[in-house]
Amino acid sequence: MQTQIQTIENASAAPGGAPNDEAGGAVERVRLAISGMTCAGCAGRVNKALDEVPGVQTAVVNLASEQATVDLSGQQDNLARLVAAVEAAGYEATPLEAEEPGLDDTDEARRQGWLVAFSALLTLPLVAQMVSGWLGFPISLEPWLQFLLATPVQFYFGWRFYVAGYKALRVLAGNMDQLVAMGTSAAYGYSAYLWWAAGGQPVGHLYLEGAATVITLVLLGKWLEKRAKGSAAAAIRALMAQRPDQARLLHNGAEVEVPLAAVMVGDLLRVRPGERIAVDGRVTEGQGEVDEGLLTGEARPVAKQPGARLTAGAINLNGVLTYEATAVGADTVLSRIIRLVDGAQATRAPVEQLVDRVAAVFVPVVIVIALLTFLTWWLYLGNLDGGVAAAITVLVIACPCALGLATPAAVMVGTGVAARHGILIRDAEALERARAIDLVLLDKTGTLTEGKPKVQRIQAGNGDEDSLLALAASVLANSEHPLARAVAQLAAEREIPVMAASEFVNHPGKGVEAVVAGQRLIVGNQALLDDFNLTGMASDDSENGDWSGLSLIQVAALTPAPRLLGCLGAADAVRPGAARAVERLHEQHIETSILSGDNETATRRIGGQVGIENVIAGVQPDGKAGEVVRLRGQGHVVAMVGDGINDAPALAAADIGIAMGGGADVAMEAAGITLMRDEPGLIADAMAISRATARRIRQNLFWAFIYNVVALPVAAAGLLNPAVAGAAMAMSSVSVISNALLLRRWRPERSD
């Protein structure tokens, strides 16, 4: 778990960071809070307006978070242009800081709550009059009293619908507010006409209760929606809350509390038990245990001693630790995780393109349907009152709020809950692709195994094992490969001195070459020996013991004459939980295969231990991506799991790349999903949460589409009361978000 935190620490191209344009120039990422959006059509218009601003590379507008994320290049007045474009489209834009989470609308939600309460207070007598008639003991309010109650609701509490509808109309666009304003205005205006036409005589049924109820219920729905959106963004707020405001700075040997912004890289800080670590750092003094659960999803304490890394936001459980700040502000691991999660929630799933196309024509189509409904009832059926009621109901019930919230709400909740359990999902596209994955390719070393092999056997041509080990360790001294570390460890254990090496040459995926003690040596696998026409020891050679299943490290001299000097055999332990992780993938009907650069015998040995029959062994780094492409060409939807630099091309070539904890920065940057712990079980968990989120998206879209498809003809037939339609429309949005919030109950399978 600690190693993945180190990985993120230096990542420079996380989704929240700014990318480069096609020409290689810097692209600035800007985030805007957008106000005034009420439906999918609104989000689509804002998106279109931003896309048309010169210099914009991509623009993504998220209705659920009420934010826009824009990547743009090169002009000093970019921000002003973006704000102006949004305002020209009829909405308002406010720049957000890089790590400002948005959606902290507590005050706005409270204000809306009061508006709903007062609107409901005025509406209840009108509703009581309507309900009393249904129950058989009618209560009749004087027309003047009905108008006294309904008018403030219509033109004060409902004024927001007129304003937002006018702004959209000004740019020849349609939105939900226009439907509400038109429907309720028609009901109010027709009621006023009936009262005027009666000329002081008793008036029949007025439609004021319908108009007031629709406005009140829509306001109630928007209030509940805002509260639900706040719950959906809880993951970001929880991460933000982990950053302390103060830090204990050591100055001239004394502790001084300073604001977090005053801490600089290189400062010495101290953290006491129960306090949160202020910035990323390295322990210089003290021992203790730290809870990094919110960052890694694993609640187990992590022991810390001098030299260990500390991560901002983690809780010091016991012991007083002194540490040197290594990263502050936006460069800390916690800040990078926040940007990654926030960046994922700002992306759009490909399925939303369908929503955009529907939303673009939905409001005009609904207005036409309402007009045809009215004319049919009035001219064909001769029922003017019925035509007014049916047309109002059509306008009110067809509001496409739920369509616009269906996908972003599920993405927000899904990526948030995944992050809480140590699974960082780059974007909504990865979520959508995950549900179709049918083949997972797993790297062997560091993914299925612990990545800490140990040398098990040595065979020297001259019988001097220590001499062979000294040469191998000297050549491999500059290599970070796990097998190189295994050789170095054994040399250290035997207290064998490492000699100076020069002219170091790396042969990717094969081994290394260097000059040691005046002779040029190569250390690596059989592929490296093949390049120099040398024959090494085979993995199934049992003449001097059982070498089967070991990773072979061949040692050869190129000068004065090419010859094999000997071989070392290393084995790596399978990670705990790897077999169960593979079993869970199979339970999800996902095939598995090992894709490794190691020899086939060693690869099959690991495959047998974890339950994977199909192995692709002896593949060079540049060949791994080719294998991924080959399998995709056979019709598979492929996820590639790896942790090393040599896995990065394959991660990028796969439908979804999954970077294991402890991997290299470049692997994480190429991946669509990053796992915060070195646990194979997280692979199956990532597939499970991705599929669960994609399932919620499909459910939400289905119900949002079906709702409108069914509701429109029912409303046109006059089978719904406008007030009932208003309640149904308001609740449709709430139900979509509530369905998405059910994802918060998802839990990974424990590997204990």
Lowest mean pLDDT: which of 14-18, 85-89, 535-539?
A: 14-18
Does the model's pTM come out above 0.75?
no
User: Residues 443, 598, 678, 685: which is the catalytic one?
Assistant: 443
Average pLDDT over all residues of the chain: 79
* 592 and 667 within one domain: yes
Q: Which residues contact 314 (CB under 8 A, 6 or more apart)?
A: 276, 277, 290, 291, 292, 294, 295
DSSP 677: S
Q: What angle do CA 583, 584, 586 make, to 5 degrees?
A: 65
| Cα distance between residue 202 and residue 195, in whole Å | 9
Is 564 found in the same domain as 493?
yes
Instruction: Give the model confidence (pLDDT) of 368-417 as tens digits.
Output: 888 999 999 988 888 888 888 888 888 777 766 666 677 777 887 888 88
Tell me what pLDDT residue 585 has: 93
Q: What is the CATH number of the domain that holds 478?
A: 3.40.1110.10
Q: How far apart are CA 42 and CA 86, in angstroms?
A: 11
- 464 and 545 inside one domain: yes
Q: Are residues 630 and 557 in the same domain?
A: no
Q: What is the pLDDT of residues 305-344, one digit of tens each?
A: 888 888 888 888 888 899 999 888 877 777 776 766 666 5
Band (pLDDT 50/70/90 cuts) for residue 581 is very high
Given this model, what pLDDT does residue 11 score?
Answer: 38
pLDDT at 99 over 70: no
Asked whether residue 254 is domain-assigned, the answer is yes
Q: Is residue 618 domain-resident?
A: yes
Judgement on whether residues 522 and 605 belong to the same structural domain of the protein = no
Q: What is the pLDDT of residue 651?
A: 82
Q: Is 177 a catalytic residue?
A: no
Task: Specify whether 627 is located in the same domain as 518.
Answer: no
- The single residue listed with the structure tokens 């084995």 is 571
Domain, as residue range, for 652 = 426-449+575-687
532, 667: one domain: no
Cross-strand pairs, 69: 31, 60
Each residue's pLDDT tens digit, 220-241: 767 766 665 565 555 556 666 6
Residue type, 437: I
Are 584 and 491 in the same domain? no
Q: Which amino acid is at 432?
A: E
CATH of the domain at 443: 3.40.50.1000
Taking only the tens place, the pLDDT of each residue in 166-208 is: 877 777 766 667 777 887 888 788 888 888 887 766 676 777 8
On whether residue 647 sits in a domain, the answer given is yes
612 and 554, same structural domain?
A: no
The pLDDT value recorded for residue 592 is: 94
Residue 583 sits in the same domain as residue 542? no
d(CA 390, CA 406): 27
Same domain, 591 and 672: yes
Assigned domain for 130 exists: no
476 pLDDT more than 80: yes
Q: Encode 422-465 in three state secondary structure.
A: CEEECCHHHHHHHCCCCEEEECHHHHHECCCCEEEEEEECCCCH
Residue 616, strand partner residues: 595
Structure tokens at 215: 């406005």
Cα(409)–Cα(740) distance, rounded to whole angstroms?
A: 6
Q: How many angstroms from the chain centroid is the CA of residue 413?
A: 9
Q: Of 571, 598, 617, which one is at a domain's C-terminal end?
A: 571
Q: Is residue 149 part of a domain?
A: no
Number of domains in the chain: 3
* Residue 35 domain-assigned (yes or no): no
The rounded Cα 400 to chain-centroid distance in angstroms is 25
Cα dihedral 192, 195, 200, 205, rounded to 10, equals: -150
Closest CA to 269 of 198, 215, 321, 218: 321
As a whole-number percent, the residues of the chain with pLDDT over 70 amount to 80
- Mean pLDDT to the nearest integer, 662-688: 74
**With b meaning 16 or more CB within 10 Å and e meaning fewer, what string describes 40-67?**
bbbbbbbbbbbeebebbbbbbbbbbbbb
**Low-confidence winner among 26-35, 481-490, 590-599, 643-652 (lowest mean pLDDT):** 643-652
Whether residues 496 and 528 fall in one domain: yes
